[in-house]
Structure formats: structure tokens, C-alpha cells
Amino acid sequence: MKQRIARTVATLLALAAPAVLGTAALAADAFANSVKIVSSLPRTGSANAQTTSMVNGIKMAIAEVGGKIGDMTILYEDWDDASPQRGNWDPAVEAQNADKAIADTSVVAYIGTYNSGAAKISMPKLNTAGIVMVSPANTASGLTKAGLGEANEPAVYRPSGKINYFRVVPTDDVQGAVAADYAKEIGLKKVFVLNDREVYGKGVAGAFEARAKEIGLEIVGTDGLDAKASNYKSLVTKIKQAGADLVYFGGTTQTNAGQLAKDIVSGGLKAKLIVPDGCYENAFIEAAGAKALQDRCFITFGGVDPKLLKGKGAEFYENYKKTYKAEPEGYAVYGYECAKAILAAMERIHKAGGTIDRAAVLAEVGRTKDFQGALGTWSFDENGDTTNRTFSVNTVKNGDFATVKVVQ
């Protein structure tokens, strides 16, 4: 037994060594005819319905090329970055996933993460190893843009000095502004800004607050709530006393947005609630109860309702429904688009006669330009962000999301 463990450790070390030394190109030799794409998303916890839908999107994209680029087989592994104890993404698990991807030399692309906080952990690791990372859902601005997050962002995620992180969703600086503009448009004046004290929630709430001040909304208070609290009735009383007619919550279903919505109703607070895309999933309606959200809650989302997608997006929607016999969640198409962009890069490498390895895929994904995908025609800019800027404002009607406005 001991010997076997020793041997396994030795094998693992042997596999990890090339990656550590940065000679990832060896991968192609070791696993001649297959490369691996992995995704790291929170599969345990209430984001599960959303992430299942995203994984389905990724699988669809791979199935569309027949699982092969040239004679190279594309393998896919669906990794979980959450733990049952947290019911949400777990920093330790995300770190393990990144290390696992680095150690497995056949991994050429990493799709993830869902939560911006989780991205902070794997970004520098994958950057050092030179693995391309494409996120279907991270929206925190600081991950790619200087001056919008912490002082050392985004340089701290790029120890190699090169960009390896890309995303297909527009960022929170835009999202926060869209929410503030909409609040003004529907005549709201006094806002209480809350966040869940996570990277994503704080970022988007900050962006909202900045824009709200700019356009003359009055900020009557700010606070950060405890995502594991039983209820927010006391906090709601404080908001009521402050005289707010709008509560903005930078947070997700997993950080208890549903309970907050309920307590606003039970606490007799007659204010609207605006939440960001982390709540654009059916689990949010389920947790809050449709009654608490009807005509009261607005959800911004970096894209449009899958039903409203056009062109290739509409094809995606139809195929998805046909394949999985279910409606895709809001982020399914982003999972699909990530995989599509990576596969398109591999295709270009193959056509040019190159070897599909980590370095080549990384370089080629970065060159994605005027990509015609399900989200329209878009490119990655110099920061690794998508040039797509479509946002929608949604509300809840009769237990389902309904789009009230689309901002291009």
C-alpha cells in the first residue's frame, strides 16, 4: 500500500513538474490525441440549477464540433468549486481545482469561475502556469480593469505580466450604472445601498452608488449584511427609518437576497428592490417567493432573457430546449459562448497547422475578434473583456422573469 502511494505521488510529481517549469508544451507529447477543457463552477448549493444549465451549454458547444478538432479529441470535465458546508463557492476548493488543472498537462483551457471572489484565487495560479481562463459569469470590474477595484488590481492576478483571463460578460461598472439610471427613470429618489461583503457584491454595489450620486439620487444609508443571518427584519426597520424608497442589494441568491426580499415585505417597508445578475436565476424566485418580488423587485442582467436572443442565440435557445427538454437559465448561453470561443481558437490553430497546446490556445483565444456567436458579434479587448455591452432590466411577473428594458 505504502509503495503504491509513493508511486502515485511520484507519478503526480512527474506530471506536475513540466507545468511548474513552464514547459507546458510537453502536454501534447504526453497525451498525443486529446486535450481537455475543464470548468470550475459552484455545483453544490443553490447556484446548482444555474450552473447545470451552463454546463449543458458547454457540452452543447463541444457536441456541435463532434467532440473533435481535426483528429484531436476534446475532452471535458465538469468540476465543482463549492462545498456542502458553505453551500456556495469555497476558496479552498477553487484553489484545489486550479492546482489540479495545472498538474494535469492535458488541460488547455479553464472555464470559470461563476463567482468573482473565486476567480481571484485561481487567476494568479493559472496565469503563472499559462493556462487560458475564460469566465462565463464573473462581473467584478477590478478583475480586469485598473482603477475600479483594489489598488493592486488587476496586476496582482497577472504575475507573468501577460493576460490569460477573458470573460464573455460585461462588467459591473456598467451594470451598476444601468441599475442607477433605471432607478432614476422610474422616479425613485432615496436609496439604501446594501452589499453581501463579497468581491462581486461590494463591487457592483459600489458602482451603483457612484453612479447614483452622479445622477442625483440621495444615498440615505449603506451597510453590509451577513449572508448567513436568519432574517433582516431589524435591518429593514433601519432602512424604513431612513425613509428609503429603493433598496439596492449587491449580492446573489446564495448570499440570501431572497430572505432580504421577504423581510422587506414583512417589515412593511414600501420600497422597491434592485438586485444584480447574481439573482437572475429561478432559485431566487423560489427562495423569495414570487409574491414578495411581484412589481417590487428589478434584476439587472448583462445580456437578455434567453427567449429574446437573436440569430445564433435563437438557434442556441431552440437547440437547448430540444436537447435538454428544459428552459435554459440566464447564464447557459454564456457557458456555451465560452466553450465556443475556445473551440473556435483551437480550430484556427488547427487550420494554421499548429499544435493545440496551452500556449497556442492561450494566444489564440486572446486574438478573438469580431466573433460571431450566440451573443452577437463581439471581440476581446486589450484587458480581456468582451466588447459586448448589452444589459437588460427584468422584473418578476407571475412567478417568472419579465424583461422591462434592454440597454445596448
Partner 1 sequence: MTETEVFLQQVIYGLSNGMIIALVALGYTMVYGIVELINFAHGDVFTLGGFLALTLVGALGAAAILDPNTLGDSSHWLLLVGLVVTAGIFCGFLNVAIDKVVYKPLRRAPKLTQLVAAIGVSFILVNIALFWGGAPMEVFGGGNAAAASKDFPEILEGSNLLGEDSNVVLRLEDLAIFAITIPLMIGLTLFVNRTRLGRGMRATAQNPVAARLMGINTDRVISATFLIGGFLGGAASVMWAIYNNTISFQMGFRAGMDAFTAAVLGGIGSLPGAMIGGVLIGLIRAMSDQYIETRWTNVVVFAVLILILVFRPSGLLGLKQREKV
Find the binder of partner 1 among 66, 187, 230, 382 (CB under 8 A). 230
Asked if 405 is part of the footprint of partner 1 (rule: CB under 8 A), the reply reads no
Quick one: 153 or 329, whose CB is closer to partner 1?
Answer: 329
Find the binder of partner 1 among 45, 112, 203, 250 (CB under 8 A). 45
User: Which residues, at least 6 apart from 11, have a Cβ–Cβ distance to it below 8 Å?
Assistant: none
**What is the pattern of x (binds partner 1, CB under 8 A) and - over residues 120-159?**
----------------------------------------
Find the binder of partner 1 among 23, 73, 128, 282 (CB under 8 A). 282
Asked if 235 is part of the footprint of partner 1 (rule: CB under 8 A), the reply reads yes
Q: Could you write out the three-class secondary structure of the chain?
A: CHHHHHHHHHHHHHHHHHHHHCCCCHHHHHCCCEEEEEEEECCCCCCHHHHHHHHHHHHHHHHHCCCEECCEEEEEEEEECEECCCCEECHHHHHHHHHHHHHCCCEEEEEECCCHHHHHHHHHHHHHHCCEEEECCCCCHHHCCCCCCCCCCCHHHCCCCCCCEEECCCCHHHHHHHHHHHHHHCCCCEEEEEECCCHHHHHHHHHHHHHHHHCCCEEEEEEECCCCCCCCHHHHHHHHHHCCCEEEEECCHHHCHHHHHHHHHHCCCCCEEEECHHHCCHHHHHHHCHHHHCCCEEEEECCCCHHHCCCHHHHHHHHHHHHHCCCCCCCHHHHHHHHHHHHHHHHHHHHCCCCCCHHHHHHHHHCCCCEEECCEEECECCCCCECCCCEEEEEEECCEEEEEEEEC
**Cβ 235 to partner 1 shortest distance, Å:** 5
Asked if 190 is part of the footprint of partner 1 (rule: CB under 8 A), the reply reads no
Quick one: 110 or 320, whose CB is closer to partner 1?
Answer: 320
Find the binder of partner 1 among 34, 73, 231, 355 (CB under 8 A). 231
Asked if 252 is part of the footprint of partner 1 (rule: CB under 8 A), the reply reads no
Residue 366 is placed in which grid cell?
Answer: 486572446
CA distance 297 to 149: 27
Which 81-110 residues touch partner 1, going by CB under 8 A?
84-85, 87
**Closest by Cα among 165, 201, 51, 158 to 114:** 51
User: CB atoms < 10 A from the CB of 45, how many?
Assistant: 19
**Cβ 84 to partner 1 shortest distance, Å:** 6
Find the binder of partner 1 among 69, 168, 212, 225 (CB under 8 A). 225
Among the candidate windows 9-17, 27-35, 256-264, 371-379, which touches partner 1 by CB under 8 A? 256-264
Asked if 271 is part of the footprint of partner 1 (rule: CB under 8 A), the reply reads no
Quick one: 266 or 323, whose CB is closer to partner 1?
Answer: 266
Asked if 283 is part of the footprint of partner 1 (rule: CB under 8 A), the reply reads yes
Quick one: 293 or 342, whose CB is closer to partner 1?
Answer: 293
Among the candidate windows 33-41, 141-149, 207-215, 234-242, which touches partner 1 by CB under 8 A? 234-242
Asked if 253 is part of the footprint of partner 1 (rule: CB under 8 A), the reply reads yes
Among the candidate windows 14-22, 236-244, 312-320, 356-364, which touches partner 1 by CB under 8 A? 236-244
Find the binder of partner 1 among 34, 73, 237, 387 (CB under 8 A). 237
Asked if 286 is part of the footprint of partner 1 (rule: CB under 8 A), the reply reads yes
Asked if 233 is part of the footprint of partner 1 (rule: CB under 8 A), the reply reads yes
Rounded to 5 degrees, what are φ and ψ at 64? Answer: -65, -30
**Cβ 376 to partner 1 shortest distance, Å:** 30
Question: Rule CB under 8 A: which residues touch partner 1?
Answer: 44-46, 48-49, 84-85, 87, 197, 223-226, 228-235, 237-238, 240-241, 253, 256, 258-259, 262, 266-268, 282-283, 286-289
